[in-house]
Structure formats: structure tokens, C-alpha cells
């Protein structure tokens, strides 16, 4: 059989991995600077852990894992006839994680006695979604999450705003927008249009606005049971523009009867005030009333980051969740808030905009090319000394033709080659060739180390 990849997954060669590691390292450095600790959870979770946390549409995108053994032997024919929903619990008890937030909440509940609250963790692992593959949307992709749980303080929201700006700017993505909103405002909107308690369905539909447009969103709301009068009353939401202050004032006026909405507006105002007190320079924050985030567990602030000038969706998102840990049977209410960076979309953005540093994909710095066994006796000590000095170096393993060895250096984009023939062995003056300029010069082994270090 001809080998192939599962749709929605990708291989990453050495050059791609070097660039991806640049993204991981940049994000990890920011997380550590803000006091977050590392955590990992298993790729598999019990389906009872995952289901019911992401809304109906999210549950449909869970990858289920068949039970081992003859898992279908005990299923009665009448059960099979009732359909997949009845059969699923009998043949699959586990699934691949859909995100990192729910496994984190499960971990917190299981280890509550050992955690000092508030607990700040970061996690950088792959997640899986049974989605239809398309540009910027994969079935397997990495997320880099940072969450703090065990506090209601809006300082945490303000720090997320700061982290987003630091990560984006350190990656070189200068042209971006951090969109913010608050789920309490969406709750107030549902009340204002005469659909109290339907904020979840409202959020799921509005979350598709960028993908399907306003008219199809309104059609979906009709399908979800929203009255025509409610849909007409909702229309101001789509045209609410202006400065942040102007939009907040419009919301206060429109949602004056909703205590929940007014609380959400106040939380937004306080978060922005704290960000200003931190001294964030040139904040790239945009209040977007139509920002909904489709996941059902959000209860407060919500965030979404988009790179401008590219045709790729959001590259980061997150928000406040007050009730997620209670879904695991704990009576203690632990509020949390977090942000997630999508490495695969960030990679696509940086590739499209040519933002990776020139050395991001750089591997070996120096290739040693001995012409014979005598040359190796000089090359090996130098190779060891280069590595001890922190220089990435390797030696061509075979005694081959010089052209073949230089072609190898070019193929791997190695900038420096040290040629060691009989003359170099006798004089102690090694030939160092700059593969980018073609320039060649002689120097001692000690001088080679300083030279390639720049």
C-alpha cells in the first residue's frame, strides 16, 4: 500500500519543527515570566469527563476510542436498532481530549488537596477534533494554554491581555487585534430581546458569524427557536461600533434592565482600567459585542486574537469559567480564567507573512570535513571543543569526495565548513569556508571556535 496521512493531520520535517520550536519556546518563556507552572495530562480521557462540557456541537467532534476486545459481542440486536447514541456507551468509554481546559479542571478536582490556590499552570500538548479539514483547521493540532484557577480577581484577565501582547510581539506578529467581550453581556442581550435563558444557543450561533455571515446566523437562531420579534430586537448588536468607551455606553443604555449585563460591562471596564495601570504600550484591544466563543463553559470575560491581513481564523482564544470544576461533582466552586494559543495557525500566519527569524530553522552551524583518517584525528578534538563551547557542530561521517560533503552542507544550509586535508594537519591552519559568501580563510582550531561564535 502507498503510505498516506490521515486527513487533517501533518508531518513536520526538521525545518518546520525548528520553526515550531521557536513558537513553543517564545510562548513558554512568556508563561514562565508570568509565574505559570508546567503540567501535562493524558491524551485520553474518559468520555464521561469530556461530554457535556463543550455544547452539543462540541460533543459531536469528540474522537471516541473503541473498547478493546470483542466490544460488540454483548450488545443486543434491539439496542443496535435504536441507533448510535444508545450503542456508543457500550462500545466506547474513552476519547481523545478536545482541548486542554477540561482535562485541567479534572486534574484540579482530583488534586485539590495538594494545590496552593490560586493555581497557575501552563500546558503545551496536542488536541484532537473530528472536524472537517480545511485551511487553518486541522483534526490534530497543538494548543499552548495558561490558566489560573481559584480566584475571581480581574487582575487575572488583565494579565491575560498583557501575555497576549507579549507573545504576539515577541513572535513578530505586530498587526493583530485582541477582541474582548463578556458572556454576562450576551446573557443580558438574550434577556433584552425576550429570550431569557437562551444565551447558550445565542452564543453558539453568533460564534459562526465570521464563517457563515449574519443572515445565516439569524436563520440558525430561527431554527433554534428564537421568535421573529427576538431576532428583530437583536439587530442592533451587529451594528454596534465606535470606540470602546462609546460601545460600552451604548451597551449600558441598551441593556439597562439587565443586572447581569451591567455586571459584565463593569467587569470589562475594570479589566481595561487595570491594563492601563500596568502601563501596556499601544494596546491592540477591540471590544466586539458579537464575540461569543462557542464553548458552553465560559461565564465571564472572553478573548479572541486575530492576525490582521491574513485569511486565517483566530489564533488564540480563552475566557473566564466559574462552574467547570462543579461538573466533576465537587461542592467547592473554583473559578478560573485562561488563554489558549493555537500553534498550527500561528505557524501558518508566520509563514504567510514571512515572520520567522532567519535563524529559526537553523540547525548545524559548523560542518567538519576531514579528507582522510589523519584529518579525523584533528577534526574530532575540534568537534568536541565546538560543542563544549555551545556551537552546534557535526562531522561528515564518511571519507567521501569534497564536492559531496559540500553539497551536504548546502542541503542542510550549514553556514560554515572546516576543511581538513594533509596540509591543514601539518600546518595547524584549518581552512574555514563561509558557505553563504564563498569566502575561505585559514585559522587555528582555537580561532575557529571564536570565529563561528560571531
Point out the annotated binding site for L-histidine. Answer: 99-101, 129, 143, 147, 293, 297-298
Cα separation, 454 vs 449, whole angstroms? 9
Annotated binding site: which residue ranges? 99-101, 129, 143, 147, 293, 297-298
Q: Is the dihedral of CA 139, 144, 148, 152 positive or negative?
A: negative
3-state secondary structure (DSSP) of residue 138: coil
| 143 within 8 A of 99, measured Cβ to Cβ | yes
Half-sphere exposure of 342 (CA within 13 A, CB side): 25
Please name every residue paired with 141 in a beta bridge, in sequence order, or none if there are none. 127
Strands 430-434 and 440-443: antiparallel
| 287 within 8 A of 181, measured Cβ to Cβ | yes
Angstrom CA distances, 43 to 20, 48, 92, 120, 170, stand at 20, 15, 15, 21, 29
Beta-carbon contacts of residue 192 (< 8 Å; ≥ 6 apart) = 233, 254, 255, 257, 258, 261
* Nearest of 296, 391, 313 to residue 348 by alpha carbon: 313
Strands 119-128 and 37-38: parallel
Starting at the earlier edge strand, list the strands of the sheet with 64-66: 44-46, 92-96, 64-66
Concatenated DSSP letters of 151-194 = ---THHHHHHHHHHHHHHHHHT--SEEEEEEEHHHHHHHHHHTT
Cα separation, 82 vs 290, whole angstroms? 39
CA 212 vs. chain centroid, Å, equals: 24
Cα separation, 286 vs 284, whole angstroms? 7
Looking up cell 467581550, which residue turns up? 181
Amino acid at each position: 500500500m502507498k503510505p498516506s496521512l490521515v486527513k487533517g493531520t501533518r508531518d513536520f520535517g526538521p525545518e518546520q519543527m525548528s520553526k515550531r520550536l521557536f513558537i513553543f519556546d517564545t510562548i513558554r518563556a512568556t508563561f514562565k515570566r508570568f509565574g505559570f507552572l508546567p503540567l501535562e495530562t493524558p491524551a485520553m480521557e474518559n468520555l464521561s469527563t469530556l461530554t457535556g462540557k463543550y455544547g452539543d456541537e462540541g460533543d459531536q467532534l469528540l474522537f471516541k476510542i473503541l473498547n478493546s476486545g470483542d466490544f460488540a459481542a454483548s450488545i443486543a440486536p434491539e439496542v443496535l436498532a435504536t441507533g448510535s447514541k444508545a450503542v456508543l456507551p457500550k462500545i466506547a468509554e474513552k476519547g481523545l481530549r478536545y482541548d486542554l481546559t477540561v482535562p485541567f479542571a479534572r486534574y484540579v478536582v482530583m488534586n485539590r488537596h495538594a494545590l496552593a490556590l490560586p493555581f497557575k499552570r501552563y500546558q503545551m500538548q496536542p488536541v484532537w477534533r473530528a472536524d472537517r479539514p480545511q485551511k487553518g483547521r486541522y483534526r490534530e493540532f497543538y494548543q499552548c494554554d495558561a490558566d489560573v484557577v481559584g480566584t475571581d480577581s480581574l487582575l487575572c484577565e488583565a494579565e491575560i491581555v498583557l501575555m497576549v501582547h507579549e507573545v504576539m510581539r515577541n513572535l513578530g506578529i505586530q498587526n493583530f487585534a485582541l477582541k474582548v467581550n463578556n458572556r454576562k453581556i450576551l446573557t443580558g442581550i438574550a434577556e433584552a430581546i425576550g429570550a431569557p435563558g437562551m444565551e447558550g444557543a445565542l452564543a453558539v450561533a453568533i460564534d459562526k458569524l465570521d464563517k457563515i455571515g449574519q443572515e445565516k446566523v439569524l436563520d440558525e437562531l430561527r431554527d433554534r427557536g428564537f421568535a421573529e420579534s427576538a431576532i428583530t430586537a437583536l439587530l442592533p448588536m451587529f451594528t454596534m461600533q465606535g470606540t470602546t468607551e462609546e460601545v460600552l455606553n451604548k451597551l449600558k443604555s441598551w441593556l439597562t434592565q439587565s443586572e447581569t449585563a451591567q455586571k459584565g460591562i463593569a467587569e470589562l471596564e475594570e479589566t481595561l482600567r487595570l491594563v492601563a495601570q500596568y502601563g501596556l504600550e499601544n494596546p491592540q484591544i477591540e471590544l466586539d459585542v458579537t464575540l461569543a466563543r462557542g464553548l458552553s463553559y465560559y461565564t465571564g470575560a472572553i478573548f479572541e486574537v486575530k492576525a490582521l491581513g491574513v485569511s486565517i481564523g483566530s489564533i488564540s482564544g480563552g475566557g473566564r469559567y466559574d462552574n467547570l470544576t462543579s461538573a466533576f461533582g465537587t461542592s467547592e466552586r473554583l473559578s478560573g480564567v485562561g488563554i489558549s494559543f493555537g500553534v498550527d495557525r500561528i505557524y501558518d500566519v508566520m509563514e504567510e507573512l514571512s515572520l520567522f527569524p532567519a535563524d529559526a530553522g537553523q540547525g548545524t552551524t559548523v560542518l567538519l570535513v576531514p579528507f582522510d583518517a589523519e584529518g579525523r584525528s584533528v577534526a574530532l578534538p575540534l568537534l568536541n571543543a565546538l560543542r563544549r563551547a555551545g556551537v552546534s557542530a557535526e562531522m561528515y561521517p564518511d571519507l567521501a569526495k569534497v564536492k559531496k560533503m559540500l553539497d551536504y552542507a548546502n542541503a542542510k544550509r550549514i553556514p560554515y565548513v572546516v576543511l581538513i586535508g594533509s596540509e591543514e594537519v601539518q600546518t595547524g591552519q584549518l581552512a574555514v569556508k563561509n558557505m553563504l559568501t564563498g569566502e575561505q580563510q585559514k585559522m587555528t582550531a582555537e580561532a575557529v571556535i571564536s570565529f563561528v561564535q560571531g
